[in-house]
Structure 1
Amino acid sequence: MQIMKGINANSLPQREQSASPLKQGEVCSLLIKTRIGNEEAVAVIKGQEVQVQFEGKMPSGDRLTAVIGAVNEKGLLVVRPTASQPAGITNITDSLKTMMANAGFPFETNRDLLAAAKRAAASGGTVNEEILTNLQYFLAEEPGTISEKLKTIATMLEKKLELSVSQLHAVHQTLHGKNTAETLAQLAQSLGIPIGLETQTALPEKEFQVINQALEGKGDLYSAVEKWFMEFMAEKNDGTPETQIDQTLAAEVVHTQQAVPAKKIIVTEITKRLAGLAADFKKEQRSISLNLEQLAKSTNSKQNRATAKQTLENTIHKLNQVILKSDMMLYADMETEKHLLTASSRLAEAGGLIEKGNLAETKAIVQEIKGLIDKIQFKPANVKIMHFTEDLLKQSLPRQNTLKQTIKTQIEQAVKPPAIKQPSARQIFENIKALGLTHELDAAANLLQPKQEQLSRLNASLKQDPERTVLPLDPQTKHNAMQQSEQELNLKAALIKFLQSESSYTSSGHDAEQTIAHLTGQQLLNKSEATGMQQLYLQLPLLLNNKMENIKVYVSSEKQGETLDWENCSLYFVLETKKMGEIGIMVHVQNRQLSLTFKNDQELFQAKMEPLTGAALERLQEIGYHTGAIQYGAFTNSTMPTGEQPTSAASETRKAPAAVKKGFDFSI
């Protein structure tokens, strides 16, 4: 399975910059484009092409840091490379001291600012009075130690991020502020919205089997859904507050004749959704199967190698689109998702065989996967259809859809833990989207879509289609829902909208701002790099036992065009637990050979973990990984690569895992 790029901080709205004037004494990075003789050149400084004259000998390299001088009698800007003289370090320090004095920050009382400015200049970044002002404000006003703030600045310089006040604040909040779980918990508290997931006790699977049989053509789907729905409503009407959606409505639908139209509408909606998903799945299944059949034929001759490779890449792409982006996987059971993941990984393996010219083995894998694809039956999961049904019931209730309710819904979606019996990679991706970490990318893609295509993505209950029975919604609710769908509403978008009507001076407004900054900081840290490495840093909040918990995730991989190499990558998970302290899980994959290392400082950790690891290895093997022995080690000396402040004093000087390099780029 390919790992597609999902978040790109280049798409984030950033402060518009015009070409700023070059000031004498300013330290800037410089790129030589054209050399003119031994002393003159056309160079790019701060995005502007300028003809310059070097003070002394012109450097041999094209990229350097230089101090801006005066304009000479020829009208050329004089520049002095900071490392062109033995006193280069002194020169740059003196230039920065002069600039600080001009900005009103004498270095005698601002030595931390001088250290930050020297670091910025040494990294090739631009240093001017505006940058100095931003750095001074950040060092003086932002909570945290000087060490933490300097680490934040260093991380931003590595990522080539603009040192603006807002971005410094956002990245610092992510690295050294409260974690995502704590931030969301505080936000929910200040808004007065209790966050908790209803106890979801799925109906016995035997009650649901009749629906899957009907989807296979063995029985009437409407009748099967109707029977299951009645069981579902009876369960909801058991008098237990934790499992009630609306006891009055449930009793009405189950027991009274007056609610027959409402029941019929909901049952019809579920039936049409299931029938539509099954039909879409069969269509994609048929298309993929035909591709594989064509691929098998093209492997009969070495002359068709290029054609076979292209067909294989198209097939893998189609499979990954089904797994990551289609609505089908939002309702499919774990077995269906697992089969598709296995098919994608095995076909990726076949791609390597094509490169080696091993067409016979490629053909064998393709035929094997074609047989697997042809046998898959789309089977929705009981618990996922229950969630969909609950949403339909909630839509039918007469209530005001306030912005706070939207924020509550998005937080609950973002922290929803995977179902115990139906764990799903797709659900984790939906949780990430609910936070708003793909907000700008989704909004941009939505704007580029034709209007008709946008409308087709609306929930069926919002369409005014005379041939389709929908839930009765008032015009204002339809309008609100239409707006929400068109804007790809998520937590970040909802909070931005909330701040339009709420002052940041209130506690709820302040917490909303902090949450937005925290999410934006993650996006900035995931900025795309021009190097061959792509990396990811995420904080995933999960609601466990009605308490918000936080998981930190780091991913490092070589790039393959617009994708990450999932067969050769490293993942590092950090979990904070009450009983065992911090636990690190290092997953390293090389040529599909997967090694696992668990890190913790407790003496009995290995003994407690060993009984649990067998099932985890089996699941990894099922989707195409080869697993080796599990290693155990201490957590104390194995830190995270972001320069974050450790949570325990004993971990003050941790080092980053060797597999994770600097910089982070989030790609799904």
Structure 2
Amino acid sequence: MEINTVKINMSTNDRSSLIKEGEHYHAKIESRMNEREAVISIRGQEVKATFSGKVPDGDRVFVKVEERTGDGIKVSVSENSRKGGEKPNASAQEKGAKDPHIQINNREFSPELRSALQRFSDNNIPLTRESVQDLKQYFSQKGDAASRAETVDHLINKGLPPTSDHLRAVHEALHGRSVHEHIQSIKDTNSSTSQYQTTVTSSTVEGTGHQAQRKNDFHVLLAQWAKNISNEPNILLALENVRSDLWQSSFSTEAVQLINEALNKAVDSVENGRELKGRQLAMNAIQQVEQMISAQAEASNPSREEALRYISNEIQQKVTGASKDILITQVTERLASATDEFKAFQRDTSRQLARISILMNQFKAQSVQQVKPMLETVIRQLDQTLLKQDWLLYADMKTEKSVLEASSRLAEAKNLLNRGDHHQANQIVREVQQQLDKILFKPSSQKVMHYMKNEQEWHTPRPDTHRLNQLMDTTTRSLTYNDGSPRNVFEGIRTMGLTRESEIAQMLSSGREQMSEGHQRNLKSILLQMQNDSDGNKQSTAQQALQNITGQQLLSRSEHQQNMQMLMLQLPILLKGQSENLQVYVNSKKNGEKVDWENCSLYFLIETKKMGEVGISLNVTERALQVTLKNDQVSFKEKVEPIALKYIERLKEVGFYVQGLQFSKLNEEEAPVVKEKEQSKERFSPTLTKKGFDFKV
């Protein structure tokens, strides 16, 4: 599958047209082809240049564009470049020597600031008086100098000017708290207010003069457990959360024992494939405990009988509600539409593959020029299906993997075709056609339930804080319990709001001026709303979370003029019921406007309670995969290797060939140093560079 990272196309001819004949430019020589030809970079754009004389010895030079050619430009070296003077037609931003606000060697600037400004200038990143002041203020703030330097490194690598917005967003993404930690803070702030309101309301229900308890509100907790067990798609997660709450509660020994035994039986039932039985066992135990507490409370305080009966009825409705029948009625029309969409996709794709196979049989080696674009079109359609078609929201994992495998195998056929092996390429095309023809569209009941639950909750009026928590939970589940589904991973990233602006741009370019409801269902949209409408701590925390997401978008944006594509993401996943932050770094050459998934490097970093920090390095060359697991514990390999080998098998299902599994230390041990200050180790996140990852320790 090819990962699309750019939404707006710009051809090479469009980019080269920005370089005008007769103009003077500051250029960097990237590589020399011969004595008179070289690849140069002008304002971040790489172009082939033919010099009027010999290619200069230095790496940086002022040139005049004499003429544009079919494959590049003809240039001459400017006299100002030889004399070291100011280039003609220089803009105000480039005349730093005459403007004290932009002068790099200003005595008022610290060495750290001068060095950073010089690096921005060397990389042709424009500087203004405002951006210089923003950078000066950034360096004057308290904090770790190494963190600031790392922020500057990433800005330079992505070609971003050092404005205050860029500095805040990138710094927050690299060194601030994760998004799920910010959202948890908002949730905790809101819970304090809600708890007070709940206490006051419950006291009124129980009658005047009755003392409120709800430090230990057994009934509210039981109702919450019942709701989670009924609605949570992943029943094992709901049972684990109940068990965690149980040991922290103040229930009687008898109640704890009753619920714990029921949980054990429920887990056994689920693992044996009897999910409904597991849910029922847990709900029955909750009802029994509710009845125990009600009996005890009624004996001590009869005036509570009516309120307790109301709460008990609420729990009973959660157990006996015919939600499944309602669900089937609601989605019948949508599932019918999804089935039609799949059949249309299946029919069109099969027809195109059959046409490709006929042409390859007819023209053999001469079919390459005609067949290759057709094959690329089919691959692109398969990838769009994986990430965009709604019917995959309901399809089971087997169907999704079949489509993913088809895309991978057709990419292999294209490579064989490039090497002249049309016979083997044709064989793969026929096999893929047969594979797609055999697919039957079978909706997954769990996916359908999950989709309808989200739809129902979204159309129920709720405050922004509730929406935020709901979307965070949805994102975490999509990224954790996805069975290797690329669509689920994409939906998780989408729900965070990391694709928000690109999707809005696509919508506007298509002529639609009003945002659909789907464009609002992401964390970034809600945080933007909270930033404007909330007050005090919520507003400040929402702003920090918003900057974190924006920073990730800046660090993952695609540059048209660069051959390398570098991404940095922070994704929330669940470990033992707790949300943890997974840092993801991707480094790859671009394949057109996409990441070359067959040749790339990935690095994952996560903090675990038992193993500490764990790093996972994946290097892919022609789909051959090298996996390296990194950790500092001595027993790491012994504990992790069996699990790693199990999951490596899944990579083979989607077209990767695993060549080896290696283990290494995460942090290198430093040699003994005399001073104690120099003995402290400080680890930073991997810095993305054009040549790969710079992982400092």
TM-score w.r.t. length of structure 1:
0.69
Residues in 2 aligned to 1:101 and 1:203: alpha-carbon distance in whole angstroms: 60
Q: Which of the residues 624, 627, 630 maps onto 2:655?
A: 624
Q: Which residue of 1 aligns with 2:573?
A: 542
Residues in 2 aligned to 1:82 and 1:557: alpha-carbon distance in whole angstroms: 37
Q: Which residue of 2 aligns with 1:610?
A: 641
Q: Which residue of 1 aligns with 2:610?
A: 579
**1:141-540 pair list within 5 angstroms:** 141=141, 144-192=143-191, 198=228, 200=232, 240=286, 266-300=327-361, 301-302=363-364, 303-391=366-454, 394=457, 400-418=461-479, 420=481, 422-451=483-512, 485=517, 487-503=519-535, 506-529=536-559, 530-540=561-571
Superposition deviation, residue 590 in structure 1? 0.9
TM-score w.r.t. length of structure 2:
0.67
Contact 1:403 1:498 in 2 (8 A): yes
Residues in 1 aligned to 2:565 and 2:615: alpha-carbon distance in whole angstroms: 21
Q: Which residue of 1 aligns with 2:139?
A: 139
**Per-residue CA distance 1:370-421 (angstroms, 9 max, x = gap):** 111111112222321221343355468xx53322232222222222255658
Residues in 2 aligned to 1:251 and 1:393: alpha-carbon distance in whole angstroms: 21
| SS of match in other structure, 2:447 | helix
| SS of match in other structure, 2:617 | strand
Contact 2:5 2:558 in 1 (8 A): no
| SS of match in other structure, 2:628 | strand
Q: 1:334 to 1:581 in 2, by over 3 A?
A: same
Query: Percent identity at matched positions?
Result: 31
The more displaced of 175-184 and 579-588 is 175-184
Contact 1:253 1:263 in 2 (8 A): no
**Per-residue CA distance 1:603-633 (angstroms, 9 max, x = gap):** 1111111211222121111111111221111
Contact 2:605 2:616 in 1 (8 A): yes
Residues in 2 aligned to 1:497 and 1:423: alpha-carbon distance in whole angstroms: 33
1:489 partner letter: R
| SS of match in other structure, 1:297 | helix
Q: Which residue of 2 aligns with 1:566?
A: 597
Contact 1:181 1:542 in 2 (8 A): no
Q: Which residue of 1 aligns with 2:208?
A: none
Contact 1:64 1:124 in 2 (8 A): no
Contact 2:598 2:621 in 1 (8 A): yes
**Per-residue CA distance 1:31-85 (angstroms, 9 max, x = gap):** 996379xxxxxxx9999xxxxxxxxxxx99896589xxxxxxxxxxx99769938
**Per-residue CA distance 1:400-459 (angstroms, 9 max, x = gap):** 33222322222222222556584422111111111111111011112233559x8xxxxx
Residues in 2 aligned to 1:412 and 1:82: alpha-carbon distance in whole angstroms: 62
2:627 partner letter: L
Superposition deviation, residue 526 in structure 1? 1.7
**1:630-645 pair list within 5 angstroms:** 630-637=661-668
Contact 2:102 2:127 in 1 (8 A): no
1:490 partner letter: N
Residues in 2 aligned to 1:382 and 1:597: alpha-carbon distance in whole angstroms: 37
Q: 1:188 to 1:84 in 2, by over 3 A?
A: farther
Contact 2:4 2:593 in 1 (8 A): yes
Contact 2:134 2:163 in 1 (8 A): yes
Residues in 2 aligned to 1:594 and 1:287: alpha-carbon distance in whole angstroms: 33
**Per-residue CA distance 1:460-509 (angstroms, 9 max, x = gap):** xxxxxxxxxxxxxxxxxxxxxxx661644311111112222234xx1110
2:119 partner letter: R
**Per-residue CA distance 1:93-149 (angstroms, 9 max, x = gap):** x9779825999x9735744433433333344344453233111221224x5322321
Q: Which residue of 1 aligns with 2:119?
A: 119
Superposition deviation, residue 651 in structure 1? 4.6
Residues in 2 aligned to 1:278 and 1:514: alpha-carbon distance in whole angstroms: 43
Residues in 2 aligned to 1:328 and 1:341: alpha-carbon distance in whole angstroms: 15
Q: Which has the higher contact order (CA 8 A, sep 6+)?
A: 1
1:356 partner letter: R
| SS of match in other structure, 1:118 | helix
**Per-residue CA distance 1:3-57 (angstroms, 9 max, x = gap):** 21157899xxxxxxxxxxxxxxxxxxxx996379xxxxxxx9999xxxxxxxxxx
Residues in 1 aligned to 2:606 and 2:235: alpha-carbon distance in whole angstroms: 32
Contact 1:542 1:549 in 2 (8 A): yes
Superposition deviation, residue 510 in structure 1? 0.4
Q: Which residue of 2 aligns with 1:99?
A: 100
Residues in 2 aligned to 1:8 and 1:651: alpha-carbon distance in whole angstroms: 40
1:291 partner letter: Q
Superposition deviation, residue 350 in structure 1? 0.3
Superposition deviation, residue 662 in structure 1? 6.9
Superposition deviation, residue 274 in structure 1? 2.2
Superposition deviation, residue 236 in structure 1? 10
Superposition deviation, residue 544 in structure 1? 3.4
**1:19-168 pair list within 5 angstroms:** 34=22, 84=84, 99=100, 107=107, 110-141=110-141, 144-168=143-167
Contact 2:235 2:279 in 1 (8 A): no
RMSD: 4.5
Residues in 2 aligned to 1:432 and 1:657: alpha-carbon distance in whole angstroms: 20
1:170 partner letter: A
Please say which structure displays the higher CA radius of gyration. 2
Superposition deviation, residue 513 in structure 1? 0.7
Q: 1:248 to 1:266 in 2, by over 3 A?
A: farther
Unaligned runs of at least 5 residues, structure 1 = 11-30, 37-43, 48-58, 67-77, 86-91, 205-227, 455-482, 639-647, 664-668
The more displaced of 649-658 and 333-342 is 649-658
Residue 553 in structure 1 maps to residue 584 in structure 2: yes
User: How many positions carry a matched residue from both structures?
Assistant: 534
Residues in 2 aligned to 1:183 and 1:450: alpha-carbon distance in whole angstroms: 36
| SS of match in other structure, 1:156 | helix
Q: 1:127 to 1:620 in 2, by over 3 A?
A: closer
Unaligned runs of at least 5 residues, structure 2 = 11-18, 25-40, 45-55, 64-77, 86-92, 195-223, 237-273, 288-310, 670-678
Contact 2:183 2:469 in 1 (8 A): no
Superposition deviation, residue 650 in structure 1? 3.1
Residues in 2 aligned to 1:307 and 1:106: alpha-carbon distance in whole angstroms: 61
More helix by share: 2
Residues in 1 aligned to 2:126 and 2:377: alpha-carbon distance in whole angstroms: 44
